[in-house]
Every structure is written in C-alpha cells, then in structure tokens.
C-alpha cells in the first residue's frame, strides 16, 4: 500500500513564485472579466446563434470504433488481471496508475474531442452485449434516479481520495471486476443504464457536451457543431447540474485536504487519529458540492431579479448549468496535470511489465527512473492556463445561453453580472488551492 501522500497531486518539488500569489490571482481574474466585456461587445447577434451542423462522411469510422472497442476491453481486462494476479506494488503494477490517471483523464480528453465516443467504445457496454442478459418481457422498467450518477461519482472520489486502498492493485482489479459484472444486470433493471446511469458513461457523456465533434447515429458520419449553441437550445437536467457540482467538488476537496488550513482545522477540533481523519474527510467530500451549488443558485436568483425574468429560478439554473461544465472539466484537468506528469514515466515502464513479473516487452522498463519531464514552474503556468481558459469558456457558454434566454440586450448583459462575479470567485479559489500543493 502506498503512503498517504506519495501520490499527492503535487509534483514533488517546490517553485518559489517570483511575485506574490495575489498577483497571479488578480491577473487571472482580470482575464476572465475582460472576456465578459469582449463577448458582450462582439457576441451580440442573435442570428449568429443558429445551431448549424456540418456532416462529414467517414468511411473509416466503423473500423476505428471497432479497434477502439477492442482496445478498451483489452485494457479493462489487463487492469483486472494485473490487479488481482500481479505484484502488489503500486510502482510495478499496471492497474492503479493507468486507471486513476490515464483512464479517467484520457477518456475525458477523448470525450472533449469526440463528444459521444464513449457510448461506442465502452468496455462495460461491450461486456453487457456479450453476456446478453435479458430483462423482463417489457424490458427495463425503472427510471434512473436523477441523483444516482452524481452519487456514484462522489463515491468514486471517496474511493480515490479517502478510502486508503485506491492504489492497492488487488482492490482496483477486484472492484472493477465486480463493477463490470454488475452493469449487465443493472442494464436489465434501469432504462438507458449504460448511457446515463453507469458512472463513467454519465461522466464522459456529460463532459462530451463540450465537444465540437460527435459521431452520427449511423456510426459512419461525424457531426460538427459549436457546443455553446447546442447546449443553449435545451436546459440541462438536474442530474447534469449535480454531476458538474460533484466534479468541481472532487478536485477542490482534494486540494483542500492537502492544505495547512485543513490540517489546522482538524487539529483544533481534536481530530488526530486515522479513523477520525477518515470520518472528517468523508464528511468533507460529502459537503463539498454544496458551496458550488449554493453559490450558483444565489447567482441565478440575483440574475432573475436583475432581469425580471418570468422564468423560475429552477429553469434558469438548469439553462445556465451548462456554463459550469467547462469550469468543472478545466479544473479537474489542471488539478490532475501534475499527477499525469509525475506518473508518465512509471506508466511507460509498466506497459512493458504490467504484472510486475520482470518482463520488458517493449524495452521501456528503464523509463521508470526518468527525471520529471516538466518542472514545477512550467506545471504551474500550464495549470493557470487551464483554469483561466476554462472560465473564459464558461463565460462564453453563459453569454450564448443568455442570448437564447432573454429578449433584450439590456437583460442579456444584466444576466451576466452575477455569473461573472461567480466565475471570478471560482477562478481565485481554484488557483489558490492549486498553488497550495505546488508552490511555496
């Protein structure tokens, strides 16, 4: 089992900022604020908001999807077998590093590039199709509870951050084996389970709403359309709003628990045992989505008052929930970027020896001792870029949605005041949290 902070999301070296952190926070906030004014000036023609789709024939696509489907299934089988039968050292086992870093981040990135790709290559869907479990005579009859996908994602974060066994290979392999066999049964109980209920499908398909490219229903065409225009046409579901809040909360709480402030809070209230810390961290991650939800709802209520909208605040919240998605994904990417950099040499090494049995299939095992590809300074500026860009995209989404929602330019601009303040607060908070585990 790894130590408590061996795989923390810092990179193992410190970078002394040349200027105080406050200047970085101020500069990033100004960049987000300027984007609001630019969108207000130049993105104000309602005629530009038509959701125009362009279709491209892709004769190669079916074979590419079949190859990716076989690859994802093979990788899942490798995680399970390596986890259960391989050496139980994190550094020499393929399963934990691949699953927690390269699977989650890699397929999120793929979903950003091709929005609905997961539904065509999901290994869990492939296993379900192979097992061919049958539902009742009327098929799956239960509707997926709207809160269930977000709850499963929160449970996934708990397993990763708090359980203490998330990087134990046998647990990774065993849990994924049970989960793989459970999904075919759940698909016979719940409607659309493998596209909306299964936690990775819910996560990747939601993130995929940000993509310019999607696969057509015939799996032979690519559909290109601007994502902000697509989402502006339809309010998000309650499930999407909650999922975005949990995604923001997971990365945020991981940073919070690595701060001196959190340690001091636990010390002051007398928590110093492992059991006490586990309970406190569990309570923390359960509560973590609430600040994002509450602040978002407050911004929406203010928006409703400023514009005099006839829409209820619940409808406005669902319409503007799409603007949280770029922020949630951008912060998750920024938060995990340092872990990706530190894990890359180890990942390349274990590809040659996934079970830790002394193989060297591709001649890459020596790469485990490769120095860091990027230093703390470079990582810090890349993370700043991810966070700022994500918030700028969030402002863009919010502005396009406002153009769809409100009739006058005055109301469009007024609606954005609370949203910009909200996003400025998110920007400052996320960068401050990132800096706590990277710089001194």
Closest CA to 226 of 205, 213, 212: 212
End-to-end CA distance of the chain: 29
Q: How confident is the model at residue 360 (pLDDT cuts 50, 70, 90)?
A: very high
Q: For residue 282, is pLDDT > 70?
A: yes
Q: Which residue has the tokens 């004014």?
A: 37
What is the reported pLDDT for 48? 54
Whether the CB-CB separation of 54 and 216 falls below 8 Å is answered with no
What the block records as the tokens of 247 is 């995604």
Query: pLDDT > 90: what percent of the chain?
Result: 50
Strand order in the sheet with 221-224: 54-57, 221-224, 213-215
350 Rama sector, left if φ>0, alpha if ψ -120 to 50, beta otherwise: alpha
What is the reported pLDDT for 213? 94
Q: How confident is the model at residue 7 (pLDDT cuts 50, 70, 90)?
A: very low
Q: State pLDDT tens for residues 34-65.
A: 888 888 777 766 555 566 788 999 999 999 99
CB neighbourhood size of 54 (10 A): 10
Which pTM value belongs to this model?
0.88
Between 31 and 223, whose confidence is greater? 223
Q: For the chain, what is the mean pLDDT?
A: 86
Mean pLDDT of 15-24: 66
Whether the CB-CB separation of 282 and 162 falls below 8 Å is answered with yes
| Cα–Cα distance measured from residue 393 to residue 210, given in angstroms and rounded to the nearest whole number | 10
């Amino acid at each position: 089992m790894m130590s408590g902070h061996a795989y923390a999301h810092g990179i193992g070296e410190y970078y002394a900022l040349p200027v105080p952190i406050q200047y970085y926070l101020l500069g990033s906030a100004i960049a987000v604020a300027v984007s609001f004014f630019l969108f207000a000036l130049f993105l104000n023609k309602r005629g530009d908001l038509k959701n125009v789709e362009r279709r491209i024939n892709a004769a190669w696509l079916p074979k590419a999807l079949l190859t990716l489907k076989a690859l994802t299934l093979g990788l899942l089988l490798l995680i399970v077998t390596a986890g259960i039968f391989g050496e139980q050292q994190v550094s020499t086992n393929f399963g934990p590093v691949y699953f927690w870093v390269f699977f989650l981040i890699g397929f999120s990135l793929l979903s950003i590039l091709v929005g609905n790709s997961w539904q065509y290559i999901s290994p869990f869907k492939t296993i379900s199709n192979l097992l061919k479990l049958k539902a009742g005579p009327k098929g799956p009859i239960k509707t997926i509870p709207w809160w269930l996908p977000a709850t499963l994602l929160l449970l996934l974060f708990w397993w990763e951050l708090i359980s203490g066994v998330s990087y134990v290979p046998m647990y990774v392999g065993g849990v994924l084996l049970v989960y793989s066999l459970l999904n075919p049964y759940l698909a016979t109980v719940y409607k659309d389970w493998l596209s909306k209920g299964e936690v990775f499908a819910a996560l990747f398909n939601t993130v995929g709403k940000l993509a310019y490219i999607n696969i057509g229903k015939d799996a032979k065409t690519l559909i290109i359309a601007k994502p902000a225009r697509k989402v502006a046409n339809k309010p998000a579901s309650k499930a999407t709003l909650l999922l975005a809040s949990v995604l923001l909360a997971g990365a945020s709480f991981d940073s919070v628990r690595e701060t001196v402030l959190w340690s001091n809070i636990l010390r002051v209230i007398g928590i110093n045992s492992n059991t006490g810390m586990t309970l406190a961290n569990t309570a923390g991650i359960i509560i973590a989505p609430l600040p994002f939800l509450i602040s978002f709802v407050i911004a929406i209520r203010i928006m409703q008052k400023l514009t005099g909208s006839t829409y209820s605040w619940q409808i406005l919240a669902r319409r503007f929930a799409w603007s949280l998605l770029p922020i949630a994904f951008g912060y998750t990417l920024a938060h995990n970027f340092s872990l990706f950099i530190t894990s890359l040499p180890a990942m390349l090494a274990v590809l040659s020896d996934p079970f830790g049995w002394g193989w060297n299939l591709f001649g890459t095992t020596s790469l485990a001792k490769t120095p860091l590809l990027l230093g703390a300074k470079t990582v810090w500026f890349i993370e700043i870029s991810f966070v700022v860009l994500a918030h700028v995209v969030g402002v863009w989404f919010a502005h396009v949605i406002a153009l769809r929602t409100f009739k006058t330019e005055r109301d469009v601009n007024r609606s954005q005041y609370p949203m910009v303040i909200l996003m400025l607060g998110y920007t400052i908070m996320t960068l401050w949290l990132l800096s706590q585990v990277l710089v001194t």
